[in-house]
Amino acid sequence: MTKLCVRAFALSLDGFGAGPNQSIENPLGEGGLALHEWVFKTRTFARIHGGGDGAAAEGETGVDDDFAARGFENIGAWILGRNMFGPIRGKWPNDEWKGWWGDEPPYHCDVFVLTHHPRAPIPMKGGTTFHFVTDGIGAALKRATASARGRDIRLGGGEHDSPIPRGAARRRDASCALARDTWERRAASRGIDLRALGFAVTQHVATPLATHFVLTKQQ
């Protein structure tokens, strides 16, 4: 059964998932890359972005890598927001921009990009094709479900990983509790009661760079 998943999403303890002023130089906004320090040294990141088995062997294993790798397990399609695809706003000025990831993006399946401005699909190396959906998230989900063929759909971000400052191990339990509280308070501020919706924290673990925790929809 296809599931809609959010994985490897980074959130600061004060509730931000990206920095301001996104640009070519700052894909995640100013200061946004600091949210993802936990993933940059992992074997999964090296394998996906570094180019092959040789680069993968140089990456680090461990808890951070386990969470990074889980983000790509059993994924048959993706749904992205327009801003995750690129910094261009409004109508597409031309067909030159094809994403941040070069000729072979890391998705290797159909990716459905939400936008108000039509654009022809972009087939890329490695099996990725970007499709631009102008009729809403429901339409994107329907198309992604058909494309996934029983595998899961990843919503461009994800498994909720809240980075914390480097520090002594004795500080991590408190940081983990604060990270969980941050998610619950952020949801509540938007009128969302995670418990009432059936979500529960089913796993959490701290490393020197992040507190990882998983929210799961209970059946």
If asked whether residues 184 and 121 sit together in one domain, one would say no
Q: How far is CA 150 from CA 104, 126, 161, in A?
A: 24, 21, 26
Residue 103 CB coordination number (10 Å)? 10
**Cα–Cα distance between 209 and 35 in angstroms, integer?**
9
| b/e 39-64 (16+ beta carbons within 10 angstroms → b) | beebbbbbbbeeeeeeebeebeeebb
**Cα–Cα distance between 40 and 59 in angstroms, integer?**
9
If asked whether residues 84 and 116 sit together in one domain, one would say yes
Structural domain span for residue 119: 73-90+104-157
Specify the pairing of strand 110-114 against strand 129-133.
parallel
**pTM value?**
0.80
If asked whether residues 111 and 153 sit together in one domain, one would say yes
Q: Give the pLDDT of the chain (219 residues) as one tens digit per residue.
A: 898 888 888 888 777 788 888 899 998 889 988 988 999 999 999 988 765 554 445 889 999 999 999 999 999 999 999 989 999 999 999 999 999 999 999 999 999 999 999 999 999 999 999 999 999 999 999 999 999 999 999 988 533 223 323 332 333 344 444 445 555 555 566 566 667 777 788 888 999 999 898 888 776
If asked whether residues 153 and 77 sit together in one domain, one would say yes
In-domain check, residue 203: yes
Domain count, the chain: 2
In-domain check, residue 108: yes
Q: How far is CA 40 from CA 15, 96, 134, in A?
A: 21, 28, 33
Q: What CATH number is given to the structural domain containing 110? A: 3.40.430.10
In-domain check, residue 62: no
Cα 147 to chain centroid, rounded: 19
The pLDDT, as a whole number, for residue 175 is: 40
The pLDDT, as a whole number, for residue 181 is: 56
The pLDDT, as a whole number, for residue 129 is: 98
The pLDDT, as a whole number, for residue 202 is: 86
105 burial via Cβ count (<10 Å: 0-12, 13-18, 19+)? buried
Q: Please state at what angle helix 43-50 crosses helix 63-70, rounded to 10 degrees.
A: 50
Number of H helices, E strands in the chain: 7, 10
Among 129, 127, 156, which Cα is nearest to 141's?
156
Structure tokens at 84: 């995750």
If asked whether residues 152 and 187 sit together in one domain, one would say no
